[in-house]
Amino acid sequence: MIRSFTITNHLGKKLVLDLENYESNGILVESVSGLGQVDSKINLKKMAGTDFSSVNQATLNDRDIIFKLQLTDGDSENAQNLLDSIFVTKQMVTIEVHTDLRDCYCTGLVEKNEPDMFRPDSMCNITVRCPDPFFYDKISQTTVFDGIKPLFYFPFSDSGSTEPVDTDEGTIVPSEVQFGEIRIVKDRSVYYTGEDSVGLTIEIHALGPVSGLIIYNLNTNERMGIDDSKLEAITGHGIIECDTIIINTTQGQKSMTLIRDGVSINIINALLKTIDYDWFKLESGDNLFTYTAETGEFEVMLSIKNRILYKSAV
């Protein structure tokens, strides 16, 4: 069940449309359409000599979210001015939808803000067109490829002795403090709960020199890595201590960036990936990743970050 909407305009100004407490701003949400799954556009190609067609292309249409709002305040002009300051035509807005099960958002441009001030109930129709038809969870997901493994126990006691001590009150056994070491975990499963495939951001931090670094998606047999010779041609060195490499596989934002000595360098030409496959994506369920390196394998700290994507707001 939808509880409320939070609208944020291009200047950061917010408007909360509470479905149960509309008296606070005098704006009653009569209806909102465009929150479910959008229609798809499927192009079929007739196969010669058969009664069947093959799928040539399948894409999702843009999302149109339409608000029908009733201005209940005695002075409806104040409420309309508030709406005009939030829903500015041609400008970007973020629409957050708060439900019993989700807090998700989408972004779009205000296409129409049309008030009807001559009606007794002062209606306003607002259309927001979203080029990206998906909703995204407000909380992103991070999977880190390292952990802590207990290594040894260090005994101690108040007396300073590490041996059991006999006293009139009994035998005192020294306490033990558990110490540990950082252990590199090379295999991780990213459990993705979204409703459609989504790109991810891989962040690699080098604790020392590394060469021949390759990351694998074991579900799809895809791989992405760093071509050391090309990286050296671009920057003068391969992967060195304190380097950070960020690989973004999100559709429309694909990139690979090296951060060295505080300077960001585009190193997408040094990308090594499986020719027959696209960039990494997460599918619903378990996604198993691992990595290898020719040298410096244990000098790599790696994490995967991703957003959770929904086809509808509820």
pLDDT in tens, 268-289: 999 987 776 679 999 999 999 9
Tell me what pLDDT residue 47 has.
87
Q: Say how far apart CA 299 and CA 308 lie, in whole Å.
A: 30
Q: Which pTM was predicted?
A: 0.79
What are 92's two structure tokens? 């970007």
Tell me what pLDDT residue 273 has.
79
Q: Which string of DSSP letters, residue by residue, matches 106-119?
A: EEEEEEEEEEETTS
* Mean pLDDT rounded to a whole number for the chain: 87
76, 58 in Cβ contact below 8 A? no
Could you tell me whether strands 285-292 and 188-192 are parallel, antiparallel, or unpaired per DSSP bridges? Answer: antiparallel
Domain residue extents for the chain? 2-137, 141-145+186-310, 147-184
- Topology given in CATH for the domain delimited by 141-145+186-310: Jelly Rolls (2.60.120)
CA distances from 232 to 236, 267, 293 (A): 4, 10, 17
- Average pLDDT by consecutive 10-residue portion of the chain (314 residues)? 95 94 86 95 88 88 95 76 94 96 96 81 91 95 71 52 54 52 70 94 95 93 93 95 96 94 95 80 95 92 95 93
- Topology given in CATH for the domain delimited by 2-137: Elongation Factor Tu (Ef-tu); domain 3 (2.40.30)
